[in-house]
Amino acid sequence: MMEVLYEDNHIIAVNKTCNEIVQSDKTGDTPLSEIVKAYIKEKYNKPGEVFLGVTHRLDRPTSGVVLFARTSKALTRLNEMFKSHEQIRKTYWAIVQGCPKVPEARLENWLTRNEQLNKSFIAKPGAKESKLAILSYKSLVRGEHYTLLEINLETGRHHQIRCQLAAIGCPVKGDLKYGAKRSNPDGGICLHARKIEFIHPVSKEYICITAPVPDDALWRALTQEIQ
């Protein structure tokens, strides 16, 4: 059952699971965008085609809040806001193996992307076809084997969080591609788009949308005191 987190005449936000894709891809699986369209069509008894604009994406194994536009006006404005990386604040939670040596830090790395492997790699500063990736993290809860981190992005690079955390020796739990010891039973990774904050593209009101964490024993254990 799809979990709607926020909805008005211009935008709608849902809590994506780690098994869903935001847009159509080569797998042929039904994307979240089509599921949201069907929900809108049924709820509002809309005739004909339902408009829905994809404003950003999450990797398939990642869960959390995804924001869609319900009108062309909202889509145009949100696209501009997402491009700036300053008008929209995205906060992620990640469960990582081990514990970072420094509990709170700002990471700057140059990343290169390998399209064939669908993977990003740390590169030398200014290397050809590399892009600067910046994020800040802080440790929220430390468990026996895993640590819950809160991450804020300053850039939006391919697999940025996954690559940069792996580079400090703390791969995201379940992320085999970036060095995790084993996969998760559900096939996802413990990276969750926890919160998104922005000024509404039409009403100009401040909007903060928070996505509950996955219904999983480890997520519950590490977040029970801070939810």
Catalytic residue list? 59
Residue 83: left (phi > 0), alpha (psi -120 to 50), or beta?
Answer: alpha
- Determine contact, residues 4/42, Cβ cutoff 8 Å: no
Three-state secondary structure call for residue 74: helix
CA-atom Rg of the chain in angstroms? 18
Distance of CA 141 to the CA centre of its chain: 20
Alpha-carbon distance values, 171 to 26, 106, 201 (Å)? 27, 16, 35
